[in-house]
Structure formats: C-alpha cells, structure tokens
C-alpha cells in the first residue's frame, strides 16, 4: 500500500473508531441495525486467514533453506514468547496485589454462560492434544489455527528434504502468500466502515453509554487494575523494542493501523493479515513475518495472560479468599500455559480462565462478576496481544534472523 494511502487510512480508521464509540454511546438501538456492516468486514478478514497462514508459514520455512535454521528460529521465537507472556502474568499479579480491586465487591446473581461451564474438565493435556488435528478441514472451519500451523511447519520441513522437487511447490505457496497479502490491502480500504460498525454495534448491545458506565462502575477498580497492567506491559514491550531494535516510536506508528483495527475487531486472529502487512511496511524481514507472526497470533497472548492472572485474584478477593504465595505461583504458571492455548478469538480469555480458577480451587461462579465488562476489556487486551506479536517479530528479526540466519 502506498505510504500516502496508509497515512490517510490510519486517520480514517482512528476517526471511525471514535465515531463508533460516540454513535453507540448515544444511539444504541440504531447501532444494532448497522452491525452487519462490521460483521461483513470481520468475515472478509477471516476469509483470508487460513490460506494466508498456511502459505506464509510454508513459504517462510522454504526461504530459510536449511532445516537447522528453522530449529534456531523456532526455538528463539518460542523462548521469547514464553518470557514476555510470563512477564505479562507477573505484572498482572503485582498490580492486582497492590490495588486490591476485589475487596468489598458485592457478589451479584449473574450466571456463567454454558460455553464456559463446559470447559470445567479442561487441562494441560487438552492444550497439548490441540496441537495435532485428525481433520485439518474441521480445524479450518472452526478457526483452530494452532494445528494448522503445526501441519504447515511439518509439511514444509518434509518439503526441504526432497531437494529440487520442492522448488515448484514452494513457488506455489509463495504466489498464494503474495496474492493473499494483496487481498488484505483491498479489504483494508473498507476498514473505516467496518470498525465504525463493529464498535457502535457492540456498544449498542451493551445498552449504550449509560449502561456501559453503570457496568464499569460496578467493578470499576477491576477495570482500572486491568487497564493499568496492560499499559505497563505495553510500555515494557515498547522499551524492549527501543533497546534491541532502536526503533520504538516509528515502529509503533507503523503498526498503528493493525492496533486500532484490533481494538475494533477484538480479535488478534482476524487482525493477523493486517499485522503482517504493517510489519512488511516497517521493513521487518519476510522470514520473521511469515513464521513469527502467525505463530505469535496463536501462542503469544500477553494481554490475555495478564488479564487472566488479574481476574483470578480479583475473584479470590471478591470471595474473601486469601491466596497464599504458593497458590499465586500456581496462578502464574497456569495463566502462562492457558494463555498459550487461548485461540485469538473474542472472549477466549474467559473460557481459558476456567483452567486457572480450577488450578487453585476458586469457584467458577466468580466469572459472572466479569461478564458485563469483559467485551470492553477484551479490546484493550487484544491491542496488547497484537503489539506483543509485532514487537516479537521485530526483536527476533534483529537478534536472530539478521545476525544468525
């Protein structure tokens, strides 16, 4: 996309997000009637995700050439993501221990949705099992990206072992990847309309601005705690990027279209095509874009991990339960692992929170305290998820790909 178009589009996207908030705040009933425009935009983004991810991962591994380089790149990427996710959880625990947002909260009578209660038996083994799918088409239909990425990695690794016969196959996937990226650019010209409709309709579903304000007031300190933690982690990643790559503010501005779009869609997965396009415009190498970003959209959920840790301690405080240091360590470990298993879809954090609550014996009914404002906080943690992936791509590109590969 030409730079002038990108700047104009960024301005329009920001204005559309602000307009969507105002429209949904004051015209909640009317906002619901334009929700289909947002769904249409979201579906268009989701339409390109599966072919883009499969093609980009296979193409990226093909560009590495030597399979030993994949081990170095993959190991470095997973280590980086594990460390930043653990940092996010630690920040969440520290902030919630300082602010104590759950103290004195009135326990309401809201019920927990069935989709969350169904996850009561979920454990670490389920996360491991999700890596391999017996039916890739079913996984694609359900937007389960992790098994598709695993398959793409294994398939590309197999291709690298058959010599010259792999070249035409890699060429096909290179072409598919380029075509998908071009399609993303076309779709993004409709982003201002889509983001406006998505935000306005979601605010309308909440009952408008007055209803949202009342919901936030009910658990106000929880909202403040989560937003504070997310802001601290965002700044931590910014400083890490500045220290390693020497490009903090310019890179942030370059990724801003993806970040604002992520706020509108509340889905890091749906925003992945744009994240990849923005990273390319920011001079991140194709090797990092094609491998690090798709993997990050699935396993690197910094915002989700931080939210889960903070929310679990909030629930404990609301019920008057003091978690010991040992129990908080368990929360730290399980929140980090559960975030890795969280699909980049709206409200996935609530579902995977079941794992963390069960690990320390807290009542699942506590999730009901968070339902009213979860959709609101989901947008902010999605922004942090996308920012974490974006920084990861630049850091790995600087430290691993350009130096060692």
* pLDDT: which is higher, 187 or 110: 187
- Is the Cβ–Cβ distance between 60 and 290 less than 8 Å? yes
Q: In this prediction, what percent of the chain has a pLDDT beyond 70?
A: 87
**Low-confidence winner among 63-67, 175-179, 358-362, 373-377 (lowest mean pLDDT):** 63-67
- 123 pLDDT above the threshold of 50: yes
pTM: 0.84
Q: Give the start-to-end residue ranges of the domains of the chain.
A: 3-404
Cα–Cα dist 287/373, whole Å = 38
The pLDDT of residue 140 is: 82
H helical segments located in 206-301: 209-218, 220-245, 249-254, 256-265, 268-281, 286-299
Q: Which residues touch 266 (CB under 8 Å, ≥6 apart)?
A: 198, 202, 346, 347, 375, 378, 379, 382
The pLDDT of residue 49 is: 84
Cα–Cα dist 233/237, whole Å = 6
- 15 pLDDT above the threshold of 50: yes
CATH dotted code for 3-404: 1.10.3860.10
Tally of residues, the chain = 405
Is residue 233 classed exposed, middle or buried when 0-12, 13-18 and 19+ CB atoms within 10 A define those classes? Answer: buried
User: Confidence class of residue 147 from pLDDT cuts 50, 70 and 90?
Assistant: confident
* pLDDT: which is higher, 66 or 110: 66
Average pLDDT over residues 121-141: 72
Give per-residue pLDDT as tens, 284-309.
988 888 888 888 887 888 888 898 88
The pLDDT of residue 287 is: 84
Q: In this prediction, what percent of the chain has a pLDDT beyond 90?
A: 14
* pLDDT: which is higher, 211 or 57: 57
Give per-residue pLDDT as tens, 377-390.
888 989 999 999 99
- 119 pLDDT above the threshold of 70: no
Give per-residue pLDDT as tens, 310-354.
888 888 888 888 888 888 888 888 887 777 655 544 455 666 677
Residue environment code for 355-377, b if the CB has 16+ CB neighbours within 10 A, otherwise e: bbbbbbebebbbbbbbbbbbbbb
- 10 pLDDT above the threshold of 60: yes
Give per-residue pLDDT as tens, 192-210.
898 888 888 888 887 777 7
The pLDDT of residue 120 is: 53
**Low-confidence winner among 26-40, 220-234, 359-373 (lowest mean pLDDT):** 359-373
Q: What is the DSSP letter of 107?
A: P
**Low-confidence winner among 43-47, 163-167, 217-221, 346-350 (lowest mean pLDDT):** 346-350
User: How many CB atoms within 10 Å of residue 186?
Assistant: 11
């Amino acid at each position: 996309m030409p730079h002038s178009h990108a700047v104009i589009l960024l301005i329009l996207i920001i204005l559309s997000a602000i307009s969507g908030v105002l429209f949904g705040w004051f015209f909640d009933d009317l906002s619901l009637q334009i929700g289909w425009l947002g769904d249409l935009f979201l579906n268009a983004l989701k339409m390109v995700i599966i072919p883009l991810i499969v093609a980009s991962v296979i193409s990226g591994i093909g560009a590495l050439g030597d399979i030993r380089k994949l081990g170095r790149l993959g190991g470095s990427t997973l280590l980086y993501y594990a460390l930043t996710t653990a940092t996010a959880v630690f920040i969440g625990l520290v902030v919630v221990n300082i602010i104590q947002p759950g103290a004195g909260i009135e326990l309401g009578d809201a019920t927990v949705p069935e989709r969350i209660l169904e996850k009561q038996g979920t454990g670490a083994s389920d996360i491991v099992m999700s890596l391999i799918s017996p039916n890739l088409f079913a996984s694609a239909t359900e937007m389960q990206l992790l098994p598709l990425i695993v398959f793409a990695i294994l398939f590309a690794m197999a291709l690298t072992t058959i010599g010259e016969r792999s070249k035409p196959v890699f060429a096909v996937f290179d072409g598919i990847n380029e075509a998908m990226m071009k399609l993303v650019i076309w779709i993004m010209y409709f982003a201002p309309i889509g983001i406006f409709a998505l935000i306005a309709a979601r605010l309308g579903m909440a009952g408008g601005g007055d209803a949202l304000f009342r919901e936030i007031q009910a658990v106000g300190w929880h909202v403040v705690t989560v937003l504070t933690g997310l802001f601290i982690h965002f700044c931590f990643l910014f400083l890490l990027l500045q220290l390693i790559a020497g490009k903090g503010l310019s890179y942030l501005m370059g990724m801003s279209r993806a970040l604002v779009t992520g706020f509108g869609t509340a889905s890091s997965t749906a925003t992945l095509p744009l994240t990849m396009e923005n990273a390319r415009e920011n001079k991140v190498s194709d090797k990092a874009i094609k491998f690090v970003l798709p993997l990050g959209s699935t396993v690197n959920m910094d915002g989700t991990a931080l939210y889960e840790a903070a929310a679990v301690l909030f629930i404990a405080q609301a019920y008057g339960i003091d978690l010991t240091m040992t129990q908080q360590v368990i929360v730290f470990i399980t929140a980090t692992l559960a975030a890795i298993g969280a699909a980049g879809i709206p409200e996935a954090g609530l579902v995977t929170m079941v794992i963390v609550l069960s690990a320390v014996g807290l009542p699942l009914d506590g999730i009901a305290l968070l339902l009213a404002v979860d959709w609101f906080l989901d947008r902010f943690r999605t922004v942090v998820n996308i920012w974490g992936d974006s920084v990861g791509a630049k850091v790995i590109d600087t430290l691993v790909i350009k130096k060692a590969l």
